[in-house]
Amino acid sequence: MSTPHRPVDQPVDHPVVQTDRGPVRGTGSDAGLRFLGIPYAKAPVGALRFAAPEPAEPWTEPLDATAYGPTAQRRAFAEVTIIPEPTVPGAGILNLNVFTPAADPSAGLPVLVWIHGGGYVAGSSASPWYDGAAFNRDGVVLVSIGYRLGIEGFLHLEDAPDNRGVLDWIAALGWVRDNIAAFGGDPAKVTVAGQSAGGGAVQTLLATPAAKGLFRAAISVSGAVMQPQDAAAGRAVAERFTARTGLPATAQALRDRSDEELLDFQGALSAPGPDGPAPMLMLAPFADGELVPEPVMDALTSGDAGGEIPLMLGFTEHEFNALPFPDAPEEALLGLLASLGLDPSASAGFLAAHPSLTTPQRMGQAITDATFRAPALAIAESRAARLRPTWLYEFTWTSQAPAFAGAAFHCLDLPFAFDLLSAEGATDATGANPPQALADAVHSAWVRFIHSLDPGADWPRYTAADRATRVWDTPPRTDPDHLAPVRAVWLREH
C-alpha cells in the first residue's frame, strides 16, 4: 500500500531529534530513519529493580541511538519460537525503537506501538521481524518497546508494586505521547498492537484505566492472558515460587540476585512437580485490584473496558498444533478437554469438528481453541452485542516449510503483517516463495486501520447480524460466521 506520506531522501546519515530527556542520534536511509534503544525510563536496577518505572535522567549531548538497546530477555529461547529474538546485554532494558519516514514535527503521521510476545518471560523488541521499513513506506511511524519480563515484570511481591511490566507499557506509551511529534508522529493517532503475550498486553491495556487516553485503536494478534487471572491466582504463583525455591516472594529477597539466578528460579517455578503441572502463563499480568482492577476477559466481555476504541483481533487457525504433543489414547484427549472446561457434549462436538486430526494434533487444537480462538471470539461477540467497532480475522494460510507444513501456526502471520517476507528467518517459518499478494493484503489492512480506524470495505465490522470474519488465505475472503463451530463448542452458542 502506498500513501502520500512516503519516505523522502535523507541528506543526513545520522539525524538528531530532540526528546524531552535530550537529543538522540539515529541513522537515515531511503527506507526511513531509525532511532534505536532510546531509554523511556531509568534502568531497573538496585532499588528500582522491582519498582515502578521512573523517567530517564536527562542528558545534553546527542545519545547514540544507532543500535538496539539492552533486552530483558537474558537467554536465547530459540526452542520456544520461530521468531529471531536477539538477546542484548545491559541494564537499561526499558528502552524503545522509533522507525519513521521523516522526523518532521509537522508530518502528523499515525503511530503503531508494537509490544513483542514471548509468553511474558521471553521475546525481544530487537527482532528483525519487527523492523518498521514497510510501515514507514506507507506513512506510519512504528515504535517497538522493551519491558520487564518474568519474575521482574510479573511475580507478585509483597513489598513491590504488582504488574510492573504493565507499568512499563504505560510508561512507554507516555513517552510516545510526549515525544513522538518530534519524530513525525501524531500523539493523538496511536494504535497499540502486539502478538501472543503482546496481544494479551493489548487486551490488558484496554482493561487498565491508567492507560486510558494513551492510544485510540488496538490490534490484538493471537492475544493470550493468564487464566484464571484474579488476585488469588497471582498470589498462588507467589506461593508456588516460595515452595519451589525456599525464598520469600519479596523484592528485598530478590533485588540483589543475578539475572542467571532469577532465570533459574523461573525454571524451578515452571517445572513439573508434586504440586501439579505448571499453569500456562504463570508470570503474566493478573487482576491486582488496583492497576488491573478485574480479570481482563471479564472486563472485556461483561464490563465496560475498551469502550468505543476500535479493535482488530484474531489468531492463526492452528496456533499450537505444531507443538510436539506425544501420541496418547483418546482418554487422555478427553481428559484434556474436560480440564479446559468442555462437558461430554461439547467434547463430542470438538471431536466431530476435527475428524482428520491425529490425537496429538487434536490436543494442540484444543489448547489453540481454549487459549486463543475462543477468548478472542468471546471478546468479538460481546463487543458486537454493544455495537462497538470490532474486526475479527483468522489466518488460515498454511506454512510450506518442512517443519510446519500444513499448519497455520503461532507467529506465522507476522511476516505478512509487517510485509517482511524476506526478513531473517521468515522463510524458515513460511517455506520458500511465500505469497507476496497475501502480505500485501494483510499489511494494507493494518495500514488502513492505523490511518483511518477501518481496515477497508472488503472487511466489514463483526456484528451480531452476520459475524463477518476476514479469512487470510490465498485469496483472502470475508465469510459470515466463519467460526460457528468454535462458537458452538467453546461458547456453547449455536
Domain count across the chain: 2
Q: Do 331 and 302 fall within a single domain?
A: no
- Rounded CA-CA distance 299/72 in Å is 29
Q: Evaluate whether residue 442 is within a structural domain.
A: no
Q: Does any domain span residue 481?
A: yes
Question: Is residue 340 domain-resident?
Answer: yes
Distance (Å, whole) CA 325 – CA 360: 5
pLDDT above 70: percentage of residues in the chain: 96
- Separation CA 88–CA 73 (nearest Å): 8
Beta-strand relationship, 23-25 and 63-64: parallel
CB 185 within 8 A of CB 141: yes
Distance (Å, whole) CA 69 – CA 125 = 9
Q: Are residues 335 and 296 in the same domain?
A: no
What is the predicted pLDDT for the residue at 453? 98
CATH number for the domain spanning 23: value is: 3.40.50.1820
The pLDDT value given to residue 405: 84
Give residue 120's Cα distance to chain centre. Answer: 9
294/424 same-domain check: no
- Answer left, alpha or beta for residue 72, where phi above 0 means left and psi between -120 and 50 means alpha: alpha
The CA–CA distances, whole Å, from 189 to 142, 209, 472 equal 12, 19, 26
pTM equals 0.95
Average pLDDT over residues 367-394: 97
In a domain, 92, yes or no: yes
On the question of pLDDT at 75 being above 80, the answer is: no
**Claim to verify: residue 231 and residue 371 sit in the same structural domain:** no
The answer to whether the beta carbons of residues 103 and 25 sit under 8 Å apart is: no
73 and 129 share one domain: yes
Q: Which helix (H) or strand (E) holds 374?
A: helix 374-385
* HSE toward the beta carbon, residue 432, CA cutoff 13 A: 1
Domain boundary at 309, 339, 362, which? 309
> What's phi and psi for 149, nearest 5 deg?
-115, 165
Q: What is the pLDDT of residues 463-485, one digit of tens each?
A: 999 999 999 999 999 999 999 99
Residues 303 and 357 grouped into a single domain: no
Hey, what amino acid is at 382?
S
End-of-domain residue from the set 309, 326, 361: 309
Average pLDDT over residues 445-463: 98
- Pairing mode, strands 32-39 and 27-29: antiparallel
78, exposed or middle or buried, with CB in 10 Å at 0-12, 13-18, 19+? Answer: exposed
Output the nine-digit C-alpha cell for 200: 494479551
Does some domain include residue 476?
yes
Q: How far is CA 239 from CA 75, 119, 250, 282, 292, in A?
A: 25, 20, 11, 12, 20
pLDDT tens-digit profile of 230-256? 999 999 999 999 999 999 999 999 999
Cα–Cα dist 290/167, whole Å: 12
Number of Cα atoms under 13 Å in the Cβ half of residue 442 = 32
Coil, helix or strand at residue 48: helix
Residue 460 domain flag: no
Could you tell me which residue, 112 or 82, shows the higher pLDDT?
112
Residues 307-329 pLDDT 10s: 999 999 999 999 998 777 888 88
Whether 253 and 281 map to the same domain: the answer is yes
In angstroms, the CA 70 to CA 89 distance is 5
Answer yes or no: is 149 within a domain: yes
Do 83 and 41 belong together in one domain? Answer: yes
In this structure, the answer to whether residues 173 and 288 fall within a common structural domain is: yes
pLDDT confidence bin for 76, thresholds 50/70/90: low
Same domain for 296 and 419?
A: no
Distance separating alpha carbons of residues 456 and 470, to the nearest angstrom: 11
R_g of the chain computed on alpha carbons: 22
Q: How far is CA 219 from CA 15, 155, 287, 371, 430, in A?
A: 31, 26, 21, 17, 22
Last residue of a domain, one of 309, 335, 363: 309
Q: What is the pLDDT of residues 137-182, one digit of tens each?
A: 999 999 999 999 999 999 999 999 999 999 999 999 999 999 999 9
Residue 234 Cα distances to 257, 259, 262, 263, 285, angstroms? 22, 22, 18, 19, 8
The predicted model gives 372-394 an average pLDDT of 97
Regarding whether 267 and 145 lie in a shared domain, the answer is yes
Question: C-alpha grid cell for residue 399?
Answer: 506454512
Confidence of residue 27 (pLDDT cuts 50, 70, 90): very high
Reduced to 3 states (helix: H, G, I; strand: E, B; else coil), residue 273 is: strand
Domain interval for residue 328:
317-430+468-494
Q: Dihedral (C-alpha) 230, 235, 239, 244: value to the nearest 10 degrees?
A: 70
Both 191 and 42 in a single domain?
A: yes
Look at residues 127, 116, 180 and name the one whose alpha carbon lies nearest to residue 153: 116
Helix axes 330-339, 359-368, angle to 10 degrees: 10
Active site residues: 196, 319, 410
Q: pLDDT (tens digit, 9 = 90+) per residue, 390-407? A: 999 999 999 999 988 899
Residue 377 included in any domain: yes
C-beta atoms surrounding 360 within 10 Å: 17
